[in-house]
Copies of this chain bind each other. A is one copy, B any other.
Amino acid sequence: MPLEKSRASSSTKKRVRDAEATKLRILEAAKKEFARNGLEGARVDTIALDAKANKRMLYHYFKSKDGLFRTVLEREYLNIREEETRLDLENLPPRTALETLVRFTWEYYIANPEFITLVNSENLCQAAHIRNSPTLKTISQKFVRRIQSLLDRGVRENIFRDGIDAAQLNITIASINYYYFTNRFTGSVIFERDFTAPEALEERIAFNIETICRLVCKN
């Protein structure tokens, strides 16, 4: 946020003009619109309208539709990694830490359904927006290292199997949770059940925790 300025409390004085607030409103509206309709399906006019901002401001702050998408996506990645960091896996017993991680992923997708659709859009265009993002690479490295050290700790304590690759495990944890949500509409047709019904959700998260524990834990 290079434009950040020192400024008196916003409650004491009503601001008609507020660059930061406008930017945030645009980003929130963009997140919704991009998530709902995809990158190509999203309409900049809709975003501007929903953000109660002029379309010109959108181009002023983010250069282009793609620039806006890039910013939205990067913020979303930062957000999930940040929340993940707060899990404090380091101070939990390995098996509990693993379960916590799986459950966190699951609950994050429920609480942030936009994340999945945004990532899908980014993959449709072959990661064109984040391909060269050093920020993303840095936080991702940190993330993989954390899981690797959890695995190592579990092996030392003779609870986890040896030789499991942290990246593969991460991918698997993400996949069994992610797929269920991203394909919940075709899934509900194919399997003739409501994927978002509370019982269905309960059953699935239990199944997923079982899957990961059987993969990683001894016995």
Contact = CB atoms under 8 A, between A and B. Distances in A.
A124 B215 contact: no
B191 A120 contact: no
Interface residues of A, number: 53
Contact of A168 (B120, B126, B207): B207
B120 A124 contact: yes
A192 B119 contact: no
Chain A interface mostly: helix
Interface string A159-192: 0000001011011101110111011111111111
Given A38-B38, A124-B41, A203-B168, A131 B179 contact: no
Contact of A191 (B40, B126, B167): B167
Q: Which 9 pairs, one residue from A and one from B, show the smallest C-beta to C-beta distance?
A: A175-B179, A127-B185, A40-B41, A140-B190, A40-B40, A126-B185, A175-B175, A214-B214, A168-B207
Interface of A: 37-41, 117, 119-120, 122-124, 126-127, 130-131, 133, 136-137, 140-141, 144, 165, 167-168, 170-172, 174-176, 178-180, 182-193, 203-204, 207-208, 210-211, 214-215
